[in-house]
């Protein structure tokens, strides 16, 4: 078997001393965490190991003799008797040479020597030194991360995972540095002095009162929302439909997550909190930017003045379209009576809508001004408000769509069943599929007449459906951008771009230059996660899940979805 020793790069030039670390159970490997230098008192070392709160054992000895120092071979071997271990590693290095020499001393010395005499090659233990950068491995998180529930983990963690966990859990060990006046001097990545950032520390101190303030505000807001008058039926229904209200409740949930006083222990929770905070800050920043553009140079007045002529223009276009349909569109002769009825009906609707818009026109600027203020809560609020306003203003198109679509779907249904009749097939209600069926001549004749009648009635309704499509597309774009700002994991992406070692997919090994006679040296580097995996793993779940392919389904539904509708009423109609 090959013995693997994970050696930190910071200890490559450490002075001679004791190696402390941990043996990985189940695999033939050891992780070296620090080197404790001479002089030391063995009793103090044992005490320190027990009190450090980290799973530590003495692994062996490290010797890097300086100039003038004679080698301490016998002294090192005597150490193995003071710290009784199953295996004792004696690692040594010569200055100027790159390779390490390692001797493994097993506890029962006698059997080792006897076995050596018998088969020389086999018992010689091969050693691999894997050099790792302690700081990066300590901060890194190996994916796939474990779920919080220990019951789900049936298999033991792999060797690499155990190595990463060992280094991550040994953080208390790294709080002892060279300048401390303790009994022991050690070398690890923080031994030159502990690293910390003033800004981070200040933010940590400031976050506590801030969290208290936010939770108090949230409590106030929740109390307001739970006033009985808001839970009456029409208001509740409206608030579930308006995207602004949905966005408000969504952000309230986020604030609640952020302002919880407990710090995030698990990696996933920490990432989630970070993502929420960063996306909220970016949202507010973009909103403030929008506000600064809107309130400068009288843009609001310009917008309000543009809105009226635009609405008039749309109404005029709609009227022209209806007049055209009521006449002879594209030379097709359609059913005059039906067209007149529908046309007059829709014209009256348009007339109502235009009067409503004219009534509102003096208030538009005021509405825009106060609505623009909502952008200070975030760009998502401004966009959802815009989407709601568009929905309210184009309510008439929605009405037309509902009427037209109902008629349209009836016609399409009739057309499709008559078309099937043409081909000699029939819908089998029991089996929910199309079966063949033989018809008589007179049945087929009547079918042909009905088919062409229906065919010429359809074009009128189609135009209304297309108009609705435009509105839905616009609203869809707004919703999509709101969703994107809400769910995109900016914190995780930033971490991946600027600190790629923190999100690790795996490791990579590189063979370091070897000298004959020394063990094999490998350099272990962290392989960061792919950007697409980062986005997939750390997406904040939103209230409306817009998967990529639902756009195609949406468009299809609008054109053919009237076809899907009748299938629901299939059981009531007998073919």
Pick the stretch among 96-104, 157-165, 167-175, 304-312 that binds another protein (CB under 8 A).
Answer: 157-165
Residue 4 is a binding residue for another protein (CB under 8 A): yes
Q: Which is closer to another protein, CB of 27 or CB of 143?
A: 27
Q: Which is closer to another protein, CB of 177 or CB of 505?
A: 505
Query: Using an 8 Å Cβ cutoff, are 168 and 113 in contact?
Result: no
Least distance to another protein, CB of residue 514, Å: 6
Residue 126 is a binding residue for another protein (CB under 8 A): yes
Least distance to another protein, CB of residue 130, Å: 8
Q: Which is closer to another protein, CB of 285 or CB of 506?
A: 506
Longest dimension (CA), the chain: 117
Pick the stretch among 40-48, 195-203, 238-246, 508-516 that binds another protein (CB under 8 A).
Answer: 508-516
Least distance to another protein, CB of residue 149, Å: 17
Pick the stretch among 105-113, 122-130, 305-313, 534-542 that binds another protein (CB under 8 A).
Answer: 122-130
- Of residues 137-156, which lie at the interface with another protein (CB under 8 A)? 154-156
Token pair recorded at residue 396? 């008439």
The residue among 106, 19, 11 whose CA lies nearest residue 62 is 19
What's the burial of 331, exposed, middle or buried (CB within 10 Å: 0-12/13-18/19+)?
exposed
Residue 554 is a binding residue for another protein (CB under 8 A): no
Query: Using an 8 Å Cβ cutoff, are 407 and 345 in contact?
Result: no
Least distance to another protein, CB of residue 5, Å: 12
Residue among 220, 338, 506, 536 that touches another protein (CB under 8 A):
506
- Of residues 343-402, which lie at the interface with another protein (CB under 8 A)? none
Total site size for another protein, rule CB under 8 A:
23
Least distance to another protein, CB of residue 202, Å: 39
Residue among 72, 128, 284, 286 that touches another protein (CB under 8 A):
128
Pick the stretch among 60-68, 76-84, 123-131, 541-549 that binds another protein (CB under 8 A).
Answer: 123-131
Q: Which is closer to another protein, CB of 128 or CB of 469?
A: 128
Residue among 158, 335, 443, 550 that touches another protein (CB under 8 A):
158
3-state helix, strand, coil in the chain (%, to 5): 60, 15, 25
Query: Using an 8 Å Cβ cutoff, are 8 and 32 in contact?
Result: yes
Return the bridge partners of 130, or none.
6, 522
CA distances to 174, 238, 385, 415, 485 from 388, rounded to whole Å, are 55, 11, 5, 36, 18
The residue among 85, 68, 66 whose CA lies nearest residue 17 is 66
Q: Which is closer to another protein, CB of 291 or CB of 507?
A: 507
Q: Beta-carbon neighbour count of residue 135 at 10 Å? A: 18
Least distance to another protein, CB of residue 479, Å: 33
Token pair recorded at residue 414? 């009739």
- Spatial separation of the C-alpha atoms in residues 65 and 454, rounded to whole Å: 99
- Spatial separation of the C-alpha atoms in residues 54 and 462, rounded to whole Å: 72
The residue among 429, 436, 430, 414 whose CA lies nearest residue 570 is 429
Least distance to another protein, CB of residue 139, Å: 20
The H-or-E segment that residue 500 falls in is none
Q: In the block, which residue shows the tokens 């995972």? A: 161
Least distance to another protein, CB of residue 506, Å: 5
- Spatial separation of the C-alpha atoms in residues 550 and 333, rounded to whole Å: 37
Q: Which is closer to another protein, CB of 67 or CB of 155?
A: 155
CA angle 559, 564, 567 (to 5 degrees): 150
Residue among 351, 508, 556, 570 that touches another protein (CB under 8 A):
508
- Spatial separation of the C-alpha atoms in residues 302 and 477, rounded to whole Å: 24
Least distance to another protein, CB of residue 104, Å: 15
CA angle 549, 284, 255 (to 5 degrees): 80
Residue 305 is a binding residue for another protein (CB under 8 A): no
Q: Which is closer to another protein, CB of 156 or CB of 263?
A: 156
Q: Which is closer to another protein, CB of 435 or CB of 514?
A: 514
Least distance to another protein, CB of residue 539, Å: 24
Token pair recorded at residue 462? 């189609």
- Of residues 26-85, which lie at the interface with another protein (CB under 8 A)? 27-28
Q: Which is closer to another protein, CB of 160 or CB of 473?
A: 160
Token pair recorded at residue 446? 């009547």
- Of residues 513-542, which lie at the interface with another protein (CB under 8 A)? 514, 520, 522, 527
What's the burial of 423, exposed, middle or buried (CB within 10 Å: 0-12/13-18/19+)?
exposed
Least distance to another protein, CB of residue 103, Å: 17
Binding positions for another protein, rule: CB under 8 A: 1-2, 4, 27-28, 126, 128, 130, 154-156, 158-160, 506-509, 511, 514, 520, 522, 527
């Amino acid at each position: 078997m090959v013995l693997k020793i994970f050696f930190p790069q910071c200890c490559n030039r450490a002075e001679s001393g004791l190696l402390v670390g941990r043996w990985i159970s189940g695999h033939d490997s050891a992780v070296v965490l620090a080197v404790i230098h001479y002089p030391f008192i063995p009793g103090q070392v044992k005490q320190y190991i027990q009190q450090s709160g980290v799973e530590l054992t003495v692994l062996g000895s490290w010797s890097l003799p300086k100039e003038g120092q004679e080698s301490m071979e016998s002294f090192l071997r005597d150490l193995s008797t003071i710290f009784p271990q199953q295996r004792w590693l004696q690692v040594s290095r010569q200055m100027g040479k790159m390779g390490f020499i390692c001797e493994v001393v097993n506890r029962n010395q006698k059997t080792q020597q006897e076995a050596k005499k018998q088969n020389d090659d086999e018992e010689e233990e091969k050693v691999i030194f894997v050099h790792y950068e302690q700081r990066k491995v300590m901060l890194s998180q190996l994916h796939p991360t474990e779920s919080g529930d220990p019951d789900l983990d049936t298999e033991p963690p792999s060797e690499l995972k155990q190595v990463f966990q060992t280094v991550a859990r040994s953080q208390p060990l790294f709080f002892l540095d060279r300048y401390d006046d303790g009994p022991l001097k050690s070398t690890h990545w923080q031994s030159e002095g502990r690293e910390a950032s003033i800004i981070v520390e200040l933010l940590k101190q400031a976050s506590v009162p801030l969290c208290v303030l936010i939770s108090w505000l949230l409590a106030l807001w929740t109390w307001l929302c739970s006033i009985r008058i808001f839970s009456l039926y029409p208001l509740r229904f409206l608030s579930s439909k308006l995207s602004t209200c949905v966005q408000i409740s969504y952000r309230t949930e986020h604030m609640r997550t952020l302002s919880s006083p407990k710090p995030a222990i698990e990696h996933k929770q920490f990432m989630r909190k970070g993502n929420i905070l960063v996306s909220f800050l970016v949202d507010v920043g973009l909103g403030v930017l929008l506000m600064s553009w809107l309130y400068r140079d009288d843009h609001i007045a310009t917008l309000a003045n543009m809105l009226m002529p635009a609405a008039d223009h749309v109404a005029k276009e709609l009227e022209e379209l209806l007049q055209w349909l009521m006449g002879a569109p594209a030379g097709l002769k359609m059913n005059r009576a039906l067209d007149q009825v529908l046309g007059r009906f829709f014209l009256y609707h348009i007339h109502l809508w235009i009067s409503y818009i004219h009534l509102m026109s003096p208030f538009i600027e005021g509405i825009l001004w106060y609505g623009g203020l909502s952008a200070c809560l975030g760009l998502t609020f401004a966009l959802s408000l815009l989407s709601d306003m568009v929905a309210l203003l184009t309510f008439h198109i929605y009405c037309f769509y509902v009427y037209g679509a109902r008629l349209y779907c009836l016609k399409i249904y009739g057309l499709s069943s008559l078309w099937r009749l043409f081909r000699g097939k029939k819908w089998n209600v029991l089996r929910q599929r199309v079966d063949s069926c033989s018809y008589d001549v007179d049945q087929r004749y009547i079918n042909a007449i009905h088919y062409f009648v229906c065919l010429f009635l359809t074009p009128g309704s189609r135009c209304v459906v297309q108009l609705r499509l435009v509105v839905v597309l616009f609203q869809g774009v707004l919703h999509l951008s709101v969703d994107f700002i809400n769910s995109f994991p900016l914190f995780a992406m930033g971490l991946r771009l600027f600190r790629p070692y923190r999100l690790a997919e795996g490791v990579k090994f590189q063979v370091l230059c070897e000298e004959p006679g020394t063990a094999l040296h490998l350099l272990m580097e962290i392989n960061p996660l792919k950007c697409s995996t980062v986005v997939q793993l750390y997406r904040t779940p939103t209230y409306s899940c817009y998967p990529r392919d639902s756009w195609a389904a949406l468009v299809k539904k609008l054109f053919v979805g009237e076809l899907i509708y009748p299938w629901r009423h299939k059981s009531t109609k007998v073919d």
